[in-house]
Each structure stands twice: as C-alpha cells, then as structure tokens.
Amino acid sequence: MQILPPEVLSPYIKHYLFLESVGDQHKTLRLFSDANTGIVFLLNRGHLSINQSQHLPYSFLYGQLSHFQDLALIEQTSFIIVVFQPDGLYKLLGLSAYELKDQIVATRDVFGQSAESLYATLIHLKHSAEKVNELNTFFYNLANQRKSSNQTLLPAVLQYVAHQKGLVTVEQLIKYSGYTERHIERIFAQQIGMSPKKFGNIVQLHSFLKLLRNKPTETSLTTICYESGYFDQSHLIRSFKKYTGITPTQYLNNTNKLAINFMEFKDNA
C-alpha cells in the first residue's frame, strides 16, 4: 500500500509504503535504486541481514545505491518504508547525500533518540492511518526546524529530468538551469548522492519499468524498449542487469514485487 504525505511534506517525502512479506521464511529480498533514499521500519521485529551475517537494526536508513543490495529475510515480517524525494534527506537534515551513498545505517545514528521513540510508537499502533499520522508529525517537526534553510533550483532540474524520462545530457541541464557543469555536478553529488548522468539513467530505467508494469499483452518488450529511449534490446538488458542484477523477463516472471524496486525471489527462481 502506497500513501502520499501531506502537501507540506511533499518536498521531502515521496510516499510511504506499507509492505508485507508472506509465506515461507528465509527469503532473499533485493533492493535496487530508484534514485531515492529511504528509511525502513520492521514492524514486528523480523530479522533482515546482509549476506546472512550482518544483521540490520529494526529501523535503518539507506542512502543512494550504486548497485543492487540483497537482504536475507529470516522470518515473515511487515515493513513501513519512508521513501524520500531524491534530495529530501539533504533538505531535512543538511547532510551530504554523497556521504550516505551505498550506506545502510541505524536510523537513530542519523535522527537521534527521537527515531527510537518514533519506532517504539509505530510498533504499538494498530491502524495504518495512525502510523501515517505519527510519521507526518515526526517529519513535520523536523522540516519546521529547517524552514530557514536556503532552497536551490535543484527541484526544478529534477522535475525537468523526470519530464524528459531521464533522456537529458549535461549540456541540456546547463541550458535549462543556467548553472555551470561544475556546479551541477557538485549539487547533484551533495544533495542527491550521484552524478546527473547516473540519475538520468535510473529515471530512464524506471520509466521503462512503469511501461513494463502496464504493458498490454500484445505489446512487445522491444516496443517499450524503444519508447523508453534505449537503442535496442541489448542496450536495455545491459542497463537493466547493471542496476537490478537480472533481466527484464526474470524481473517479470521470477520475482514477487513488494515495491517496484524491492522484490523477493520466487521459490522456483
């Protein structure tokens, strides 16, 4: 279930996801980049680990991902994932997004003791609406503390990249924004945690995934490949495997999608 934040929080938070992994224990979950960062809450204290050895905290934040990340799920659990806007964490905390790149850290290490209190409240609330209200209050208070921070033109640039489905060059960004190439590269690294080119590649990938998810039966993979701006199917598959580790066909047939970029592998995969 996907729930949008109130408008006042939309510059920081893209949406909340309420997800549940059901069925047998000991599953592999794969997370790949959607150009956003996020916070994961494990509501019934299920156990997630990296490589079945490094146990993750019950509440953790993940930064921008360069490559897909596999997590081992030891038992059935439910999640809340707070999905931030690409520059949302920078706006909220003023942290360099590049420092969080490819990092998974305990939420308390970033947000302090208030994150512990938030988690303790969330696991005792029964209804989704109550949990969303609690999350909204937490992030509203945090955003209120940052009201005086300077805003940049980056949100408009990100919207432009999204509108172009990721198919933009740095030269086009320079012309659109009026920034120099050096300045564009710097603010993308600082506020998003990746280069403009990589950001565009991920936006393009998710444009393809949106078409794939809604693909009519009679529409071929090649057709939506071209619609998404890939040169040919080989180009698509190389890019797709780079970010997800699998092919589009495997993604469609051999995974259960908890979210568009968060999936568990079927038993017969």
Domain boundary among 111, 145, 179: 145
- Strand 69-73, strand 48-50: pairing: antiparallel
* Residue 265, domain member (yes or no): no
Domain CATH code at residue 228: 1.10.10.60
* Residue 49, domain member (yes or no): yes
Neighbouring CB atoms inside 10 A of 99's CB total 10
Instruction: Report the pLDDT value the prediction gives residue 221, as an integer from 0 to 100.
Output: 85
Taking each helix axis as running N to C, give the angle between helix 181-191 and helix 196-213, from 0 to 180 degrees, rounded to the nearest 10.
Answer: 60
Closest CA to 102 of 66, 49, 76: 66
Share of the chain above pLDDT 90, in %: 60
- Bridge partners (DSSP) of residue 18 are 80
Residue 166 to residue 104: CA distance in whole angstroms: 26
Q: What are phi and psi of 42, to 5 degrees?
A: -95, 110
Domain count for the chain, please give it: 2
Global confidence as pTM = 0.89
Query: What rounded mean pLDDT belongs to the chain?
Result: 88
* Residue 261, domain member (yes or no): no
Full domain range(s) for residue 237: 154-244
Neighbouring CB atoms inside 10 A of 157's CB total 21
Question: Are residues 107 and 24 located together in one domain of the fold?
Answer: yes
pLDDT, average across residues 135-145 = 92
Question: Are residues 201 and 229 located together in one domain of the fold?
Answer: yes
- pLDDT bracket for residue 269 (50, 70, 90): very low
Question: Are residues 161 and 136 located together in one domain of the fold?
Answer: no
Question: Are residues 178 and 119 located together in one domain of the fold?
Answer: no
Question: Are residues 103 and 83 located together in one domain of the fold?
Answer: yes
User: pLDDT tens digits, residue range 187-218?
Assistant: 999 999 999 999 999 999 999 999 988 888 78
Residue 71 to residue 29: CA distance in whole angstroms: 5
User: pLDDT tens digits, residue range 54-82?
Assistant: 788 889 999 999 889 888 887 777 889 99
Most distant pair of Cα atoms in the chain: their distance: 53
* Residue 26, domain member (yes or no): yes
Instruction: Report the pLDDT value the prediction gives residue 26, as an integer from 0 to 100.
Output: 73
Instruction: Report the pLDDT value the prediction gives residue 22, as an integer from 0 to 100.
Output: 65
- pLDDT bracket for residue 268 (50, 70, 90): low
CA atoms within 13 Å, Cβ hemisphere of 147: 5
Instruction: Report the pLDDT value the prediction gives residue 50, as an integer from 0 to 100.
Output: 80
Domain boundary among 100, 127, 145: 145
Question: Are residues 159 and 217 located together in one domain of the fold?
Answer: yes
Question: Are residues 164 and 228 located together in one domain of the fold?
Answer: yes
Question: Are residues 76 and 22 located together in one domain of the fold?
Answer: yes
Question: Are residues 8 and 38 located together in one domain of the fold?
Answer: yes
Instruction: Report the pLDDT value the prediction gives residue 147, as an integer from 0 to 100.
Output: 63
Domain CATH code at residue 48: 2.60.120
Question: Are residues 92 and 225 located together in one domain of the fold?
Answer: no
Question: Are residues 18 and 51 located together in one domain of the fold?
Answer: yes
Residue 143 to residue 148: CA distance in whole angstroms: 10
Question: Are residues 11 and 115 located together in one domain of the fold?
Answer: yes
Instruction: Report the pLDDT value the prediction gives residue 47, as an integer from 0 to 100.
Output: 76
Which residues are CB-contacts of 216 (< 8 A; sequence separation ≥ 6)?
none
Domain boundary among 145, 180, 213: 145
Instruction: Report the pLDDT value the prediction gives residue 154, as an integer from 0 to 100.
Output: 84
Identity of residue 110: V
* Residue 259, domain member (yes or no): no
* Residue 257, domain member (yes or no): no
For the cut 80, the answer to whether the pLDDT of residue 131 exceeds it is yes
Q: Which of 50-54, 63-67, 89-93, 94-98 bottoms out in mean pLDDT, i.e. has the lowest? A: 50-54
pLDDT, average across residues 124-149 = 87
